[in-house]
Amino acid sequence: MSATFEEGGLGNLAQSARTNQLKSARGILLGVGILTVLVNLGLVIFADRIVDAEIEKELKPVRAAGNVIDQEALKELREGAIRSLRFVDGIAVLLGVVFIVCGILVYTYPVPVTIVSLVLYLGSAAVFGVIDPSTLAKGWIVKIVIVIALFKAVQAALAFESERKRATTVAPLFPT
């Protein structure tokens, strides 16, 4: 946090409340970023096991029916699925890193960082919803809370910047 915030140079009550909202936004961004990195890094690392488990689940009734499975086609399917899973989850890891960076920069560039974070969060939810529609329903209450918090952070950042500009603009003592 910069010296301006800690010294209370902008120190009115409303500005203090906006600073607290930026602190909340920072916590949310860091939390979302860290969780996104950890979960998706795990998915990248264990992609082969995840794909194998899904393939086995799908093949169980096929084997039970006595059908023959083309092992070469299965191998190609498995490799493609692992590659796709690692690619998508690798992008999600990068997105988590972006959220962490945004959390670090929220005090320096409050307006752009909060807007970019809100857009990225909504955009990533939409993209992952297109890839797998069930992700939209999973954790929807948490997603709504995060979106509301990020929206409030954007509002706080806009008001904060406005107040900061007003505080740094000082009227001359002797007008010319």
Which pair of structure tokens corresponds to residue 8? 């209370």
| Measured distance between the N- and C-terminal CA atoms of the chain, rounded to whole angstroms | 38
Bigger pLDDT: 116 or 171? 116
* HSE-up (13 A, CA, CB side) for residue 145: 7
Q: Kindly report, residue by residue over 114-149, the tens digit of the pLDDT.
A: 999 999 999 999 998 998 898 888 888 988 988 898
Specify the residue for token string 């890891």: 93
Q: Kindly report, residue by residue over 74-105, the tens digit of the pLDDT.
A: 999 999 999 999 999 999 999 999 999 999 99
Global confidence as pTM? 0.75
Which pair of structure tokens corresponds to residue 163? 């107040």
Cα→Cα distances 130→58, 98, 127, 148, Å: 22, 21, 5, 22
